[in-house]
Each structure stands twice: as C-alpha cells, then as structure tokens.
Amino acid sequence: MIVFVRHGQTDANRDGLLLGRADPSLNERGREQSAALATMLAGELKAGTRVLTSPLRRAVETADAIAAACAGTVECDARLIELDYGDWDQHRLLELPQDVVVRWRRDPDFAPPNGESLREVRGRMADFVAALLAPGSDDTVVAVSHVSPIKAAILVA
C-alpha cells in the first residue's frame, strides 16, 4: 500500500502562490502539521517503514518528521517532485492571462512556458505507482510529495 502525504505548509502555499521547483522550507505551521501527522502515522505504521520523498526541502522536512516517528528510513525519489511551473513558479494564477490558465486546466499536454505538462507528471507517477505496487511488494510505503503528483498518482492507481 502507498500512503500519499502532501508536504506541510510553506509561506508561498499560504500566500496562494504556485510553487513548483522553488525550494523553500516549511513555515512554522508546516512544521506543526508535519509533527502532528507524524504522531498520527506512528500509531499506524510499523517500525522501519520506508518513507519516499520528493527532493524538494518542504517534502524532505515532512518526510523526516514521519520517518523519525516510525523509526523509518527516508529515500529521495525524483519522480515525486512537484510539477515544473516554469515561468509561472511563485506567481498567483490570477496574475496570469486567464485564457492561458483555462487552457492549462483543460489540456493535459499544455505546459507553462519552460515548464512541464500534466501528462508528463502523470507519466512519471504511473511509473512510480507501478514500481511500488508490483506483485510481491506488500509493504506499506509513505510517499511525501506535492499536490499535482498526488492527483496524478490517484488517476493511475
């Protein structure tokens, strides 16, 4: 089983900014969220659970809290990284041309300038899910990621 977890809050998330490959740390609320989730999961996960994480700091900090609570191990997996918003990174959707935003939401092949399409995210998450749900792999794994990869994983699971 894969338990998907979205990282805790950052200032950019709080402020409504698109946050792709930018790499801020969790804010105080995000650290509190991560600690609370880690405490909750500690009662559900067996000791030594694998915790896979996006390489971005906000996810790693969340994963570290979970792994510490269940005596688990943290491994980075680049497939869990957030969608690359390219030139849109750290902007609000309302700041962008709305016709382009509508196209992005409707067309899985559309990518922001210098960014990544939703179809590309879906492809890497399909690989991730298939690898972890292969026959014979019955351990529970925690995957700490971001909103777009988690949504994509749900589509392919």
Torsion angle, CA of 95/22/112/2, rounded to 10 degrees?
A: -120
Cα separation of 42 and 125, whole Å?
A: 26
Cα separation of 34 and 38, whole Å?
A: 6
| Catalytic site includes residue 7 | yes
| Neighbour-count burial of 58, counting CB atoms closer than 10 A to its CB (0-12 exposed, 13-18 middle, 19+ buried) | buried
Cα separation of 66 and 60, whole Å?
A: 10
Q: Which of 61, 82, 116, 146 is catalytic?
A: 82
Cα separation of 152 and 22, whole Å?
A: 20
| Catalytic site includes residue 82 | yes
Cα separation of 59 and 85, whole Å?
A: 17
CB 51 within 8 A of CB 142: yes
Q: What residues act catalytically?
A: 7, 82
